[in-house]
Amino acid sequence: MSFRSTPLFAGDLYDTALRLAQEDVLKTVPSDENTPSSKWQQMLGLGWQGVIVAEDDGGVGARVQDLAAILEAVARQGHGAPLVDRCAVAPVLLTAAKAHRQAAELLNALMLGEVSVCTALDAGEKGPGRVTAPWVDANLVLQGDLLAIDLSEPATHVLFRARELASQDSRLVMLPWTQVASRVKRYTGVDDRQYGDVALSGLTISADQLLLQGAAAVSAISKARQVGALMSCVQTVGAAAAMIELTIEYLNTRQQFGVALSSFQALRHRTVEMYVAYENARGLVLNHIEHIDEHGLNDDPYKITLIKLYLAGLARLVAESSIQLHGGMGMSWESLVARLAMQAMNGSLQQGGSSECLDWLTVQTLSEST
């Protein structure tokens, strides 16, 4: 029994990212939370934040599949860099708002690796009529919180959606990190990554910090969330492939009663279930990325919502199975398979968790039936 996965998009980008993401079993955490890790500095230096930004806007002008190649490779190594947030979601938002002077300046600095922008986009149009985003009143005073923003690497700015109090219209707001740093409550997630909640209530912003409003903001946020959701699925595919490879290698090596564990049929059946689910998910993600590269994004997240929902099930299936098939080894954080499992399961909650996807699909189905 053997298995070697085929990358979604093999090539130089995949190979480079795979080598860069390799690290020791226990990574060194910088003592200063405002100091980026050496690997993150390398990623910024390579221009990964500008991979899908058009050349006319100062970016690389590559396809979505090129960014997917990078994210899949990094995910296979269990590396916790915030690539989806900083290299997919933030560039899409800033590109949509490039007519705004500050957004254009920030986008240019992003390409050069001089800044790193974290995002906080609530469910918004996916929720059944509920308001979950922060809101801003007529005096440009914010109320509400930003929850679970990814701070596994330092950020210089934060982009988020706020609702206008009277009309409930969407606003895309940009704040420098120095303006919110004292309002952040940090904590460590189950995947050992750093997150933070930001209390915005009482914070006054300027009109220049409103990058997009109304329909333009809704469209930009929808497309950014779709790209983010798809890239989170890419990370799940990469982590799942690595977990299956590690599990099969372990079963071939570990012996019980004088024979390899891979000779036990019950364990082989469990492994095949993982493999079949992985291949189905890989095909879905591959097909949708190729479709986007050919036809572009639209404002309808229906397909990616279904894919994200399926990938959430894959993440749990492969994570639980790989840990169980590794036995006690699978519970050790020093084992790569344990970190991959935690990151895959936690990643399935980001950029649209299962409950959020089901909520949106329910509302969409009901609206189409009336």
Q: Which domain holds residue 290?
A: 217-369
CA 74 to each of CA 18, 200, 235: distance values in angstroms, whole numbers, following the listed order: 6, 33, 8
The CATH number assigned to the domain holding 249 equals 1.20.140.10
Contact criterion met (CB below 8 Å) for 197 and 58 = no
| Residue 215 in this model has a pLDDT that exceeds 80 | yes
Contact criterion met (CB below 8 Å) for 308 and 357 = yes
The two beta strands, 170-176 and 157-164, are antiparallel
| Residue 350 in this model has a pLDDT that exceeds 90 | no
Query: What is the per-residue pLDDT across 54-82, written as a single tens digit (0 to 9) for each?
Result: 998 888 889 999 999 999 999 999 888 99
How much is the mean pLDDT over the chain? Answer: 88
Q: Would 36 be classed as within a structural domain?
A: no
Would you state the pLDDT for residue 261? 85
Q: Would 120 be classed as within a structural domain?
A: no
Q: Would 13 be classed as within a structural domain?
A: no
Provide the 10 A C-beta neighbour count for residue 65: 18
Q: Would 331 be classed as within a structural domain?
A: yes
Would you state the pLDDT for residue 132? 53
| Residue 363 in this model has a pLDDT that exceeds 90 | no
Percent of the chain whose predicted confidence (pLDDT) is above 90: 60
Q: Would 29 be classed as within a structural domain?
A: no
Cα–Cα distance for residue pair 183/201, rounded to 1 Å? 10
3-state secondary structure the chain: CCCCCCCCCCCHHHHHHHHHHCCCCCCCCCCCCCCCCHHHHHHHHCCHHHCCCCHHHCCCCCCHHHHHHHHHHHHHCCCCCCHHHHHHHHHHHHHHCCCCHHHHHHHHHHHCCCCCEEEECCCHHHCCCCCCCCEECCCCEEECEEEEEECCCCCCEEEEEEEECCCCCEEEEEEEHHHHHHHEEEEECCCCCEEEEEECCCCECCHHHEEEEHHHHHHHHHHHHHHHHHHHHHHHHHHHHHHHHHHHHHHHHCEECCEEHHHCHHHHHHHHHHHHHHHHHHHHHHHHHHHHHHHCCCCCCHHHHHHHHHHHHHHHHHHHHHHHHHHHHHHCCCCHHHHHHHHHHHHCCCCCCHHHHHHHHHHHHHHHHC
Query: What is the per-residue pLDDT across 221-261, written as a single tens digit (0 to 9) for each?
Result: 989 999 999 999 999 999 999 999 999 999 998 888 888 88
Q: Would 61 be classed as within a structural domain?
A: no
Contact criterion met (CB below 8 Å) for 236 and 315 = yes
- State how many domains the chain has: 1
Q: Would 161 be classed as within a structural domain?
A: no
Would you state the pLDDT for residue 121? 85
Query: What is the per-residue pLDDT across 101-131, written as a single tens digit (0 to 9) for each?
Result: 999 999 999 988 999 999 998 644 434 444 4
* pLDDT tier, 370 (very low <50, low <70, confident <90, very high otherwise): low
